[in-house]
């Protein structure tokens, strides 16, 4: 029995039972939660050069369902945290990113993408506008951190200080009970709406807490000093209902939420228009430009794009993974799956992928070529499972 291949970063063809397969023989980095992972029977894998848990002893489905119904902790310390400060930092960042600080209040976070000159995605990220108005704080994908830093150094002059924050762990607390748990530490977080962040003090430590996540649920990402991470997580685990969840559940949760994974659904050959991320670019930026890749974004919007990211529901029970070819009824290739697997919430297979735009106007039933079996599938809109973000007490 051998693995056939799934997540690009995690799985490749080979003997999945061997340490070499998981990349565990390499010199891997550990996060400040490494001890906690081991104490909780984590199955550790090589993810972006770190030992990280794909799952704990309850397994991916249980961890997934627990996150949807209660609250889970995810170790996302591998992600890059970058602080950029300097004079008129917002103006400088607007030349790099397709965002508009006139629309971002201090304390707010925006989802955006670094684009290359062709208007394709170098990385997707979260950017935070500080209350002090002197810096921005970015959270970027682990695998992209070094190319993001290169991109920033080549496009910001020496007046700007670019700091990779290497002494802070990043923890995601996700699920409908996450605010009930976190407000026992920081009372103020209860009223914080989705996509805002702030600094809080607890036990003489400074916590940077953002109300956002990658599951479609209400939740938080918490940046804390490495030295304090273990103590804080153990305190969280003492709270009723709080459990650990691994990368496997993180992937199935984000797929149900229709959120793109860099390296799968978006990459340096895909534009935000193709990926359905145009909502993240303000209208005036599209009209007025002044950011890297603008001409191509504008052109894509005017002329349309050849392919678009869609939701795909295979009919039946056979999951269709990334790389699966999508056929029309005449068995002509019309697209490809970029993320696919099993949805624990819907108890059916789900997938995301690109389909030729002209097909989308008419056909909604397609065929998936899974190892030579032609599986009928439905094209659907995203997300598969409704987002439950906290938009504020209004």
Partner 1 sequence: MAEIYFTKDHEWIKVEDNIGVVGITAYASEQLGDIVFVELPEEGITAEIGKDIAVVESVKAASEVYSPVSGTIIKSNEDLNSTPEIVNEDPVGKGWFYEIEISNNDELSGLMSEEEYQKHIGD
Q: If 0-12 CB within 10 Å is exposed, 13-18 middle and 19+ buried, where does residue 27 land?
A: exposed
Contacting residue, 35, 161, 317, 391, with partner 1 by CB under 8 A: 317
Residue 151 touches partner 1, criterion: CB under 8 A: no
Of the two residues 12 and 278, which places its CB atom closer to partner 1 in the complex? 12
Contacting residue, 72, 344, 351, 359, with partner 1 by CB under 8 A: 344
Contacting residue, 371, 381, 386, 394, with partner 1 by CB under 8 A: 371
Of the two residues 193 and 316, which places its CB atom closer to partner 1 in the complex? 316
Q: How many residues bind partner 1 (CB under 8 A)?
A: 31
Place of tokens 């691994």: 246
Contacting residue, 1, 27, 157, 240, with partner 1 by CB under 8 A: 1
Answer whether the bond into residue 6 is a cis peptide, omega within 30°.
no
User: Torsions phi, psi of 362, nearest 5?
Assistant: -115, -60
CA distance 353 to 197: 32
Q: What residues numbered 10-39 form the site for partner 1, per CB under 8 A?
A: 10-11, 16-17
Q: How many CB atoms lie within 10 A of CB 292?
A: 20
Of the two residues 145 and 251, which places its CB atom closer to partner 1 in the complex? 251
What DSSP character marks residue 177? T
Contacts of 175 (CB under 8 A, 6+ apart): 66, 67, 68, 69, 70, 71, 72, 215, 217, 218, 219
H/E element, 19: none
Least distance to partner 1, CB of residue 60, Å:
4
Of the two residues 61 and 305, which places its CB atom closer to partner 1 in the complex? 61
Least distance to partner 1, CB of residue 362, Å:
30
CA distance 271 to 244: 35
Interface mask (CB under 8 A) for partner 1, residues 39-58, using x and -?
Answer: ----x----------xx---
User: Residue 260 in 3-state DSSP?
Assistant: coil
Least distance to partner 1, CB of residue 249, Å:
8
Q: How many CB atoms lie within 10 A of CB 159?
A: 11
Contacting residue, 321, 350, 354, 367, with partner 1 by CB under 8 A: 321
User: Residue 151 in 3-state DSSP?
Assistant: helix
Of the two residues 248 and 258, which places its CB atom closer to partner 1 in the complex? 248
CA distance 257 to 383: 5
Least distance to partner 1, CB of residue 49, Å:
19
Contacting residue, 274, 341, 345, 390, with partner 1 by CB under 8 A: 341
CA distance 111 to 114: 11
Cite the DSSP H helix spans in 239-349: 247-256, 283-288, 294-303
Of the two residues 80 and 349, which places its CB atom closer to partner 1 in the complex? 349
Residue 159 touches partner 1, criterion: CB under 8 A: no
CB 335 within 8 A of CB 293: no
Residue 252 touches partner 1, criterion: CB under 8 A: yes
Residue 4 touches partner 1, criterion: CB under 8 A: yes
CA distance 139 to 297: 23
Residue 319 touches partner 1, criterion: CB under 8 A: yes
Least distance to partner 1, CB of residue 65, Å:
11
Stretch in the footprint of partner 1 (CB under 8 A) among 1-9, 99-107, 108-116, 223-231 = 1-9
| Residue numbers at the binding site for partner 1 (CB under 8 A) | 1-7, 10-11, 16-17, 43, 54-55, 59-61, 64, 248, 251-252, 317-319, 321, 341-342, 344, 349, 371, 373
């Amino acid at each position: 029995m051998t693995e056939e291949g799934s997540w690009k970063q995690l799985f490749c063809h080979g003997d999945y039972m061997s340490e070499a397969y998981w990349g565990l023989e390499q010199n891997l980095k550990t996060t400040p939660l490494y001890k906690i992972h081991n104490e909780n029977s984590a199955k550790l894998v090589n993810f972006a050069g770190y030992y990280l848990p794909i799952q704990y002893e309850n397994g991916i489905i249980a961890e997934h369902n627990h996150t949807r119904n209660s609250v889970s902790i995810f170790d996302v310390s591998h992600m890059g945290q970058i602080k950029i400060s300097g004079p008129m930092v917002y103006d400088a960042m607007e030349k790099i990113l397709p965002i508009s600080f006139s629309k971002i209040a201090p304390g707010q976070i925006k989802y955006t993408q670094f684009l290359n000159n062709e208007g394709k995605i170098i990385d997707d990220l979260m950017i935070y506008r500080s209350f002090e108005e002197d810096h921005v704080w970015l959270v970027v994908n682990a695998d992209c951190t070094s190319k993001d830093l290169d991109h920033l150094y080549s496009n910001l002059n020496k007046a700007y200080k670019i700091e990779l924050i290497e002494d802070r762990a990043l923890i995601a607390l996700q699920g409908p009970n996450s605010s009930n748990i976190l407000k026992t530490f920081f009372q103020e977080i209860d009223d914080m709406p989705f996509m805002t962040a702030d600094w809080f003090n607890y036990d003489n430590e400074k916590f940077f807490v953002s109300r956002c996540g990658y599951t479609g649920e209400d939740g938080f990402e918490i940046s804390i000093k490495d030295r304090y991470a273990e103590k804080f997580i153990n305190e969280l685990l003492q709270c009723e209902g709080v459990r650990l969840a691994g990368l496997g559940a993180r992937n199935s949760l984000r797929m149900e939420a229709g959120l793109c994974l860099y390296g799968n659904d978006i990459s340096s050959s895909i534009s935000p228009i193709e990926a359905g991320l145009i909502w993240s670019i303000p209208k005036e930026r599209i009209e007025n430009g002044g950011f890297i890749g603008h001409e191509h974004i504008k052109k894509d919007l005017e002329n349309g794009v050849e392919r678009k990211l869609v939701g795909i529901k295979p009919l039946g029970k056979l999951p269709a993974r990334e790389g699966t070819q999508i056929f029309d009824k005449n068995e002509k290739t019309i697209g490809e799956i970029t993320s696919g697997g099993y949805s624990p919430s819907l108890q059916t297979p789900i997938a995301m992928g690109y389909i030729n735009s002209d097909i989308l106007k008419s056909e909604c039933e397609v065929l998936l070529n899974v190892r030579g079996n032609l599986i009928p599938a439905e094209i659907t809109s995203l997300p598969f499972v409704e987002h439950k973000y906290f938009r504020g007490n209004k």
